[in-house]
Amino acid sequence: MSKTKISDPAATAPESVVDFSEENPSVLTRVQHALHETPALVPLIVLVLSIVVFGVLLGSKFFSPFALTLILQQVAIVGIVGSAQSLVIITAGIDLSVGAIMVLSSVVMGQAAFRYGIPVELAVVIGLTVGSICGYINGWLVAVMKLPPFIVTLGMWQIVLATNFLYSANETIRSQDIARDAALLQFFGRKVQIGGAVFTFGVIFLVLLVLVLAYVLRHTAWGRHVYAVGDDPEAAELSGVNVKGVLISVYTLAGLICAFAGWALIGRIGSVSPTSGQLANIESITAVVIGGISLFGGRGSILGMFFGALIVGVFSLGLRLLGADAQWTFLLIGVLIIAAVALDQWIRRVAV
């Protein structure tokens, strides 16, 4: 099991180097070690570099509080879904159904309030419950039925998405109707403005969620168990970890977080739209991978995912402002993904 401390590499690297090396280790080995100790470091460096580069190229147009907080708003949904994805991937699983669960939850919230006239507070609770149930089913199939997570969530993705379309008849609930009759659904769209900087409640929720999860994963028994299960489920079982329980709890929590993402989605686009979020599963996996979380489980930090999502956001907006064809964004993101995984493989070879 690896530590996921986020700190200055200079502070941790020397200690760990001293342990095992009499002859001076090369700089490369030191770097390798530092990265092994703090997986969020690489994405953080890439993020800072990309902000600096686009800042130089675009000047104040990019380097303004407005544009920088706009990036936060644009990655809020992917970031929230990415938090759920991170949890699952740390257990060496994968969740392809995150986007579908998000959209279904938002549709259920909307339909509960508008089709059935349920009070909006209750409608939100129903939506969150539906998300959690979807997650629970995933978790049960993975943990108890021992089915591969990829297959389970591939199936769940189709099932949930089809349910979403059948149930909603793909009809949008208009923003103006929601604002009038069920304003709570747009809660995450409200905003705090500080100068030119705009923080929506969705962004604030994302930041809080990442911080809370980072703390829980590092400092609670449950969090350590999540890493242990991802690293080596048999060893975890032998040391008394309830592997099934941990897996089910992770997938259920992921479902709940996706439902919150669905709620935040209503805030962002104003309306309830069943066609939204089609690519959220891929985008969240992208953020996770660029964020340095290992797809083999047991390694990586949720902060890395957050930086990964921001990197994608910075590239997208930066390249658009430069007037580049949108395809360049996808191309560069592709390069980043492969580079990130290659780096992960290299770091894994470190002797601990």
197 forms beta bridges with 194
Using rule CB under 8 A, residue 60 touches another protein: no
Residue 259 CB, shortest distance to another protein, in Å, is 17
Using rule CB under 8 A, residue 176 touches another protein: yes
Whole-angstrom CA distances from 3 to 33, 115, 218 are 12, 49, 8
Q: Is 10 buried (19+), middle (13-18) or exposed (0-12) by CB count in 10 A?
A: exposed
Q: Is 219 buried (19+), middle (13-18) or exposed (0-12) by CB count in 10 A?
A: exposed
Kindly write out the interface string for residues 255-284 of this chain, putting x where it contacts another protein by CB under 8 A and - elsewhere: ----------x--xxxx-xxxxxx------
Using rule CB under 8 A, residue 299 touches another protein: no
Among 21, 163, 172, 242, binds another protein (CB under 8 A): 172
* Residue 16, SS3 per DSSP: helix
Residue 84 CB, shortest distance to another protein, in Å, is 18
Using rule CB under 8 A, residue 61 touches another protein: yes
Torsional class of 304: left (φ above 0), alpha (ψ -120 to 50), beta (otherwise): alpha
Cα distance between residue 144 and residue 33, in whole Å: 37
Residue 55 CB, shortest distance to another protein, in Å, is 13
Using rule CB under 8 A, residue 321 touches another protein: yes
* Residue 93, SS3 per DSSP: coil
Residues in binding contact with another protein, number by CB under 8 A:
37
Using rule CB under 8 A, residue 194 touches another protein: no
Using rule CB under 8 A, residue 224 touches another protein: no
Residues in the site for another protein, rule: CB under 8 A? 61-62, 66-67, 70, 73-74, 165, 169-172, 174-176, 189, 191, 198, 200, 265, 268-271, 273-278, 317, 320-321, 323, 325-327
